[in-house]
A and B are shown apart, each in its own frame.
Chain A
Amino acid sequence: MSARLVRGARRPWHAVLGALGGALILFLVLPVVGLLSGTTLADVRAGLEHPLVAPALELSFFTTTVSAAVVILFGTPLAWIIAERRGGGARLLESALKLPVVLPPAVAGLGLLLAFGRTSVLGALFARLGVGVPFTSAAVVLAQVFVSAPFYVEAAIAAFRRLDADLLVIARSLGAGTARVLFRVALPLAAPGLLSGVALAWARALGEFGATLMFAGSLSGRTQTLPLAIYAALESDVRAARALSLVLVCIAFVLLFAVRSSERVHGPGPGARP
């Protein structure tokens, strides 16, 4: 009786909150609906046959795989070191690492050009070795690593900090050295969190546009990734742009779904029988 009264009293508020939330959902979903509406399967098939599409798909798959591998290789040890520390230095480093997330893509692209371009110290060094970084597939990977690494490192720090510190102490008390503690206890236990970080970073690298355009250009087969190909295709064939966009939406959704699922696995922790 009283529960019904309370619920009744809340109803007008629920309606207001629901309307506001619903409006936002509508706004967020509308562009995706736009992509889908009026697109037939034949359109998608025709769009995917556009000459820009196949090289872009291949390049995006190749570069995001490499950049994800780079991010995991360098990001995991960094996250482990930061996770162990909670002082001012660690906090400062964590904030600095998030900078690429909020940096305008144009600024990131310009920064990468200035750091690795022919006029820079690093660029000159590479040039003497006969390697020019800007406007190559390597530049694509660098731009992707720059924008996606923070997502992985942040997720990995959180995953390592969630670990039961007692388990690491016990592993050491049994005689395990740092490598064994890391590879046999910490990494397996943090794996769900690390994987969700990889998925987020991968999705971000796949969507990378601005920094890639400035630092790597948009050469089909060399630096023109999926997002750049969409932009280029828009000038000649809207169907191709639509088809590629749908491909990206699907991949992004699958990756986000993977993140959610791994969080669910991670969430409640190992159940205990009384």
Chain B
Amino acid sequence: MTLGVELEGHVGPLRLRAAFDTTRGTVVLTGPNGAGKTSVLRMILGAVTPERGRVRLNGATLFDSERDVNVPLEERAIGYVPQNYGLFPHLSAAGNVEFALACRRPALSREERHGRALDLLGELGLANLVAHRPHALSAGERQRVALARALASEPKALLLDEPFAALDVGTRRKLRVFLRERLERLSLPTVVVSHDAEDARAVGHHIAVVEDGSVVQAGSWGELARAPATEFVRELTLERERAP
């Protein structure tokens, strides 16, 4: 189960170049704001079409510019949790999860869908919030609903954009542990975008540093610390060492 990415394209004036794969576990895309991390995620997702490159997931080709393959977004089966969690504001927490179930499992009855949604939300500790609309949930709760919804769609890979950015310190610490355990148990190919060194360290061991649209260095923390390719990478590894 791996996701392999090799992409080139433009987003506005920014030229994007990214190549990495998840053979060594969850990949954390990190780098300064505006470096193009989210755009890389959206290209993997299929919401933005790259100019050149390949995206392969578990042996299947999702995108290949040379062979003219471009699997549409709705058929890629990639779970995506954006930075603001992207919950449907007109649906309850359960409704959001049921939406995903209805897409993937059209044969299920309404009651079965509801039952499964309650199970999934219960598993993530949201049993008493299933009827709440997103605006009535805290940021941490919204994130877990978004995760439950993504998992309900039976994804073959997960893309998480800044999963901790909107959280306060306490929630952040709890969710780091929660997310790492979840991801380990799911063993899905996962790409996490995070600009924060400590968050990045908490969820993944394989780091890809994006600067000005390009992956400037990829490797484990140790590899990055031993031979930082840029000033940003050097500071990132120092910051990581200083972290408790």
Q: Which residues of chain B (52-77) have a CB below 8 Å from chain A?
A: 72-77
Chain B residues whose C-beta falls within 8 Å of the C-beta of A269 in the assembled complex: 89
Q: Are A272 and B100 in contact (CB under 8 A)?
A: no
Q: Is A110 an interface residue (CB 8 A)?
A: no
Chain A residues whose C-beta falls within 8 Å of the C-beta of B77 in the assembled complex: 175
Q: Is B31 an interface residue (CB 8 A)?
A: no
Chain B residues whose C-beta falls within 8 Å of the C-beta of A271 in the assembled complex: 135
Chain B residues whose C-beta falls within 8 Å of the C-beta of A174 in the assembled complex: 74, 99-100, 103-104, 149-150, 152-153
Q: Is A235 an interface residue (CB 8 A)?
A: no
Give the contacting residue for B80; candidates A170, A176, A177; CB below 8 A. Answer: A170
Chain A residues whose C-beta falls within 8 Å of the C-beta of B4 in the assembled complex: none
Chain B residues whose C-beta falls within 8 Å of the C-beta of A176 in the assembled complex: 74, 99, 103
Chain B residues whose C-beta falls within 8 Å of the C-beta of A167 in the assembled complex: 86, 88
* Per-residue A-contact encoding for B123-147, CB less than 8 Å = 1, 0 else: 0000000000111111100000000
Q: Is A185 an interface residue (CB 8 A)?
A: yes
Query: Measured between alpha carbons, how far is A180 from B102 in the docked complex, in Å?
Result: 10
Chain A residues whose C-beta falls within 8 Å of the C-beta of B46 in the assembled complex: 173
Q: Are A166 and B74 in contact (CB under 8 A)?
A: no
Q: Are A270 and B89 in contact (CB under 8 A)?
A: yes
Q: Are B90 and A188 in contact (CB under 8 A)?
A: yes
* Per-residue A-contact encoding for B146-163, CB less than 8 Å = 1, 0 else: 000110110000000000
Query: Measured between alpha carbons, how far is A177 from B75 in the docked complex, in Å?
Result: 9
Q: Are A177 and B45 in contact (CB under 8 A)?
A: no
Chain A residues whose C-beta falls within 8 Å of the C-beta of B135 in the assembled complex: 270-273
Q: Given A180-B103, A184-B99, A270-B135, does the pair A175, B90 have CB atoms closer than 8 Å? A: no
Chain A residues whose C-beta falls within 8 Å of the C-beta of B11 in the assembled complex: none
Chain A residues whose C-beta falls within 8 Å of the C-beta of B78 in the assembled complex: 173
Q: Are B73 and A274 in contact (CB under 8 A)?
A: no
* Per-residue B-contact encoding for A157-177, CB less than 8 Å = 1, 0 else: 000000010110111111111
Q: Given A169-B47, A273-B136, A273-B137, does the pair A175, B74 have CB atoms closer than 8 Å? A: yes
Query: What residue in chain B is nearest A164 (Cβ atoms)?
Result: B86
Tier of interface size on chain B = 35 or more
Q: Are B90 and A189 in contact (CB under 8 A)?
A: yes
Given contacts A173-B79, A185-B88, 6 further A-B contacts (CB under 8 A): A173-B47, A175-B104, A184-B99, A270-B89, A272-B135, A274-B139
Query: Measured between alpha carbons, how far is A180 from B45 in the docked complex, in Å?
Result: 19
Q: Is B82 an interface residue (CB 8 A)?
A: yes
20 contacts between A and B (CB under 8 A): A166-B84, A167-B86, A170-B80, A170-B82, A171-B88, A172-B72, A173-B45, A173-B80, A174-B74, A174-B103, A174-B104, A175-B74, A175-B75, A175-B77, A175-B153, A177-B74, A180-B102, A270-B135, A273-B136, A273-B137
- Listed from nearest, the 4 A-B pairs whose CB atoms lie closest are A175-B103, A270-B89, A270-B135, A174-B153
Q: Are B76 and A173 in contact (CB under 8 A)?
A: yes
The number of residues on chain A lying at the interface, defined by a beta carbon within 8 Å of a beta carbon of chain B, is 23
Q: Which residues of chain A (174-220) have a CB below 8 Å from chain B?
A: 174-177, 180, 184-185, 188-189
Query: Measured between alpha carbons, how far is A138 from B5 in the docked complex, in Å?
Result: 59
Chain B residues whose C-beta falls within 8 Å of the C-beta of A184 in the assembled complex: 99
Query: What residue in chain B is nearest A269 (Cβ atoms)?
Result: B89
CB distance from A167 to the nearest CB of B (A): 6
* Per-residue B-contact encoding for A262-274, CB less than 8 Å = 1, 0 else: 0000000111111
Query: Measured between alpha carbons, how far is A185 from B84 in the docked complex, in Å?
Result: 17
* Per-residue B-contact encoding for A230-274, CB less than 8 Å = 1, 0 else: 000000000000000000000000000000000000000111111
By CB atoms of chain B within 10 A, which of A167, A175, A177 has the most?
A175
Q: Are A273 and B138 in contact (CB under 8 A)?
A: yes
CB distance from A237 to the nearest CB of B (A): 50
Query: What residue in chain B is nearest A166 (Cβ atoms)?
Result: B86
